[in-house]
Amino acid sequence: MTPERFSRAIAVLNHRQPDFTVVTDQVHKGQNLSAIIRTCDAVGIAALHSVYDEATFRAHTGTTMGTHKWVDTRIYRNVDEPLTQLKNNNYQIIAADTSGNTLDYREVDYTKPTAVLLGAEKYGISDAAYPHIDQCVTVPMLGMVESFNVGVACAIILAEARGQREAAGLYESRQMSEESYTKTLFEWTQPLVAKYCQKHDLPYPALNEKGDIVDLDWRKG
């Protein structure tokens, strides 16, 4: 780990938005999931909630999702589980949808704790998700095509959210808790040691300002 890389990790974590997330509802195509995760990373989202049905759960776990180490990807078998957790933590659920009563995506206040819900490529939002939704939004179209690809729609909505959060000063100071920040920084910059500690139920050793482990005898406890 070079000092430059360590400094970069610190800068990225200082911009993470722990009260902003995305939920994908049966989005199966790897290229779309990859695009969504890259966009989440770019706007400071720390965790993505991804829902697969029973038939595809095993096929995708550890493959497409496992390659994106900078965004914590949490996988569920049904959409009720992540949406219920988020609602219980006072998140507003904003669904990208083209049917029913929708708002222009720019009319939502994304500075509140927010989860953006994205539906499957072909079928959209599942019926089970609707009871949890606070507001459906759409990206206005000026051409013959009725809707954007799910990855593109995600990028457009998250860019608006980032702009609002920047204007509100939410990127100017660290939003993560000290515990979460310290844990994530160590796992990003000392991944092999982190795995060793997890395997042997050991606390992570302290790092100095360059990202090096301070106590070289840390294994001895």
pLDDT digits (tens, 9 = 90+) for 170-189: 999 999 999 999 999 999 99
Percent of the chain residues past pLDDT 90, beyond the cut: 66
Q: DSSP for the chain?
A: --HHHHHHHHHHHHT-BTTEEEEEES---HHHHHHHHHHHHHHTB-EEEEE--HHHHHHHTTTTGGG-TTSEEEEESSTHHHHHHHHHTT-EEEEE-SSSSEEEGGGS-TTSSEEEEEEBTTTBS-GGGGGG-SEEEE----SS--S--HHHHHHHHHHHHHHHHHHTTTTSS--S-HHHHHHHHHHHH-HHHHHHHHHTT-PPPPB-TTS-BS-TTGGG-
**Per-residue model confidence as pLDDT tens digits over 135-175:** 999 988 777 566 678 889 999 999 999 999 999 999 999 99
| CATH architecture for segment(s) 17-167 | 3-Layer(aba) Sandwich (3.40)
Residue type at 188? W
The reported pLDDT for the residue numbered 52 is: 80
Given a cut of 70, whether residue 45 has pLDDT beyond it is yes
Task: Name the band, by pLDDT with cuts 50, 70 and 90, for residue 98.
Answer: confident
At 79, is the pLDDT very low, low, confident or very high (cuts 50, 70, 90)?
Answer: very high
Provide the CA 104 distance to its chain's centre, in angstroms: 23
- As annotated, the residues of the chain forming the CATH 3.40.1280.10 domain(s) are 17-167
Mean pLDDT throughout 11-15?
96
Q: pTM of the entire structure?
A: 0.88
Residue 83 Cα distances to 2, 15, 46, 98, angstroms: 39, 24, 17, 20
